[in-house]
């Protein structure tokens, strides 16, 4: 099992939640490919929980979605870190499955030096991968 965490990431917590829901439980290489498609605006991410004022998109079974490019770029970097951590631990790179992906809200950061302060978005993202176990075939003896 390998883990990577990004603290104080300058991305939206709500958007990150929706993107992590998309990649949770998938193969690591497949998740990086999907995030690359999202970054290039080829694959929309369905917004199911935080969906206020989000437009409809074309797609199979997709009613409301967006193309969160900034979140995708940050998560691709985080997935490359977790892949390097797994390689360091001696896990097989092609058999890694994302078993845990969570986002927590970060502290209130402010843009100073303005007439009126503005809040900056930040969050903490954690991704854990595990090597997929090969199922052994049991031979029944009669």
- Is residue 39 in some structural domain? yes
DSSP code at position 68: -
Question: Which residue range forms the structural domain that includes residue 98?
Answer: 2-131
pLDDT at 60: 64
- Which residues touch 90 (CB under 8 Å, ≥6 apart)? none
pLDDT at 59: 66
pLDDT at 73: 97
* Residue of 93, 73, 71, 70 whose CA lies nearest to 82: 93
pLDDT at 119: 85
Are the beta carbons of 17 and 126 closer than 8 angstroms?
no
Residue 57 in this model has a pLDDT that exceeds 80: no
* Residue of 77, 86, 82, 80 whose CA lies nearest to 10: 77
- Is residue 112 in some structural domain? yes
Q: What is the pLDDT of residues 36-54, one digit of tens each?
A: 999 999 998 988 888 888 7
Residue 85 in this model has a pLDDT that exceeds 90: yes
- Is residue 100 in some structural domain? yes
pLDDT at 7: 96
- Is residue 137 in some structural domain? no
- Is residue 140 in some structural domain? no
pLDDT at 17: 96
Burial (CB count within 10 angstroms: exposed 0-12, middle 13-18, buried 19+), residue 70 = middle
- Is residue 34 in some structural domain? yes
Instruction: Count up the domains in the chain and report the number.
Output: 1
CATH number at residue 112: 3.90.470.10
- Is residue 64 in some structural domain? yes
Residue 105, classed as helix, strand or coil, is: strand
pLDDT at 127: 97
According to DSSP, the residues that pair with 111 across neighbouring strands are: 118
- Is residue 35 in some structural domain? yes
Burial (CB count within 10 angstroms: exposed 0-12, middle 13-18, buried 19+), residue 129 = buried
Give the up-direction half-sphere exposure of residue 111: CA atoms within 13 A in the CB hemisphere. Answer: 9
Distance of alpha carbon 33 from the chain centroid:
12
* Residue of 108, 126, 128, 127 whose CA lies nearest to 118: 108
Q: What is the pLDDT of residues 104-138, one digit of tens each?
A: 999 988 888 877 778 888 999 999 999 988 777 77
């Amino acid at each position: 099992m390998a883990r990577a965490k990004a603290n104080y990431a300058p991305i939206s917590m709500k958007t990150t939640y929706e993107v992590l829901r998309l990649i949770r439980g998938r193969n690591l290489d497949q998740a990086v490919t999907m995030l690359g498609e999202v970054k290039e605006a080829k694959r929309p991410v369905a917004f199911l929980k935080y969906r206020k004022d989000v437009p409809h998109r074309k797609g199979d079974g997709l009613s409301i979605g967006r193309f969160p490019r900034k979140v995708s770029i940050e998560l691709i970097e985080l997935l490359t870190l977790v892949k390097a951590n797994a390689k360091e631990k001696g896990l097989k790179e092609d058999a890694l499955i994302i078993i845990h992906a969570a986002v927590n809200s970060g502290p209130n950061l402010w843009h100073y030096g303005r007439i009126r302060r503005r809040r900056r978005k930040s969050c903490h993202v954690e991704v854990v991968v595990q090597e997929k176990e090969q199922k052994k075939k049991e031979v029944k003896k009669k």
